[in-house]
Chains A and B, each alone.
Chain A
Amino acid sequence: MARERTLPRRLFSALAPWLVPIAVLAAWQLSASVGWLSSRILPEPLAVARAAVTLAASGELWEHVSVSAWRALSGFAIGGGLGLALGLLTGSFRKVEIALDTSLQMIRNIPPLALIPLVILWFGIDETAKLFLISFGVFFAVYINTFHGIRSVDPALIEMGKSYGLSGWSLYREVILPGALASILVGVRYALGFMWVILIVAETISAQAGIGYMTMNAREFLQTDVVLLGILLYALLGKLADILARALERYWLQWNSAYAA
């Protein structure tokens, strides 16, 4: 558009996406304070904010968030790391693919949450069980996309690299890994989303700390404001992880105009 954009116009276009959420919040607050909504069903937004402030002031909130984040990230590191390593191996070596890929594809079809009873039998109900579930859920998203990424690197570029004297690790570093990176990052983003889903379920089974424990506990005492706060925290953490993954994409794939900022 050639027309000059004036300040109020710019301000409006920056605020426009927030109009609907703000209106919903206002309506919600209003209906709660007038008494249309019982606070047992849906507490007013201000109550949620008050709960957040109280829990944050007592330090309880940070403890729960950090325990949850730690669980999620260690599970992601283990599962994602294994998925990356195995995906690179099966993608690069035909023999490893023949040996492993079929078995992995079979296991992939098991929904991780179906394993819960077995996992409790194996590991009890402490941290190991939660880590296992998260790792298991995250593994396949990273594995499949890594394998696919390595396989779909342009063979013409590999041939070019070889004819320019690249081989072994240098060929891997210059051509194969960067070529597979876009696909690997898709796997990472998908895995990050899935990581929170599994974390939520794992934390509601049984836990002594974490956001899930906090919300389950609050349910017992009918503290709907804290329950709602827990749900909002999951949303916030999920969004943070997604922002992080996007930043990685933007940095690593800046050569690709589809990802350039």
Chain B
Amino acid sequence: MNLSDSEIARLEADRPPAAGLGIAIDRLVKRFGERQVLHGLDLDIGAGEFVAIVGRSGCGKSTLLRLLAGLDEISGGGIALDGAPPQASRDDARIMFQDARLLPWRTVIQNVALGLRGDRAEVRERAERALAQVGLADRADEWPARLSGGQRQRVALARALIHRPRLLLLDEPLGALDALTRIEMQRLIENIWRQHGFTAVLVTHDVSEAVALADRILLIEEGRITLDEPVALPRPREHGQPAFAALERRVLKRLMSVDAINTRNRLPGRIVDIAVGCPLSEVRIETAAGIVTAVVSTRGLHEQPLELGAEVLALFKSNEVVLASEGEAAR
């Protein structure tokens, strides 16, 4: 499971050129009934690239992955995997789910060999090799119920790899694992990716996982890509490195501010009055919708001084909005 650097170098030399699948997504739209999840998403992923997609729950990242896997129908726009629609490239793409989804009534090795056709002995040998790759050769004939969560995900990985996919889609496959097992699995996935050269798309909640694995980190908000950050750190990456931590912090900060930057909640305006008080001060802002008063701490005002007439953005948080009729508002 742990490959030395020289072995990796040798494997990389062996790697067949263009083993990965190139992805071109053009104004992709997905609707579930009335609800639109993806709003004209554009994205290109190069062959062999490792892309991580982060975003809040419900932002559409898993939907995008399912569309890439050909599991759902697209509502508009297009996806091309090396020029072909996802349904046509089904044999080239494999998906790993958050839960391993092993068949409990098949042994580990039967699960790995699922969907393989051909000579029995040959299939068994291939499955054994795939299991050895994820370090579980000795558990081949056990029931999945006997394995730990991390081992089940490794079996699921072997099951995906046995088909020699050109595109591996990972839908938060490590989300349910403990921290240590997760880092182990990240190493394993990275090694196997370098060895096979497939294109990998990882959906994750965990920014540090994205930084550890990806060539590129994408942030999806409200069904659009709002951040496309290349990760130029050398591999294998250590979680403690300063550059690693700095990038992780940057992406995390961007992710946390998603709510505030929502375009529907902002009002551009100009500061017309600052009333300094203690401990709170009031800043009055003239916007297209009228005068808005923001209450800020006086301490915060000292740290980030504002000037009269400065152009600012007034942002709303939905939990502080009170609706009133016009008569009440006048009072």
Residues of A within 8 A of B (CB): 156-157, 159-166, 170, 174-175, 178-179, 181, 253-257
Contacts and interface: CB of A to CB of B under 8 A. Distances in A.
Interface string B57-76: 00000000000011100000
B101 A157 contact: yes
Contacts of B32: none
A160 B145 contact: no
B174 interface: no
Contacts of A164: 94, 114-115, 159, 163
A170 B105 CA distance: 15
B91 A165 contact: yes
Contact of A256 (B90, B94, B104, B115): B104
Contacts of A166: 114-115
B95 interface: yes
B145 A163 contact: no
B143 interface: yes
B101 A255 contact: no
B29 to A, nearest CB: 22
Given A156-B99, A160-B101, A174 B114 contact: yes
Contacts, number: 51
Contacts of B91: 165
For chain B, the bracket of interface size reads 20 to 34
Interface string B134-152: 0000000001110000000
A163 B69 contact: yes
Contact of B103 (A162, A165, A170, A175): A175
B244 interface: no
A223 B163 CA distance: 72
Given A156-B99, A254-B143, 10 more contacts: A163-B71, A163-B95, A164-B115, A165-B90, A165-B91, A165-B163, A166-B115, A178-B105, A255-B105, A257-B145
A159 B71 contact: yes
Contacts of A160: 97, 101
Interface string B229-257: 00000000000000000000000000000
Query: Top 6 closest A-B pairs, CB basis?
Result: A178-B105, A164-B115, A160-B101, A165-B115, A255-B105, A255-B143
Contacts of B97: 156, 160
A249 to B, nearest CB: 13
Contacts of A256: 104-105, 145
B99 to A, nearest CB: 7
B104 A255 contact: yes
Contacts of A179: 105
B106 interface: yes
Contacts of A181: 105
Contacts of B101: 156-157, 160
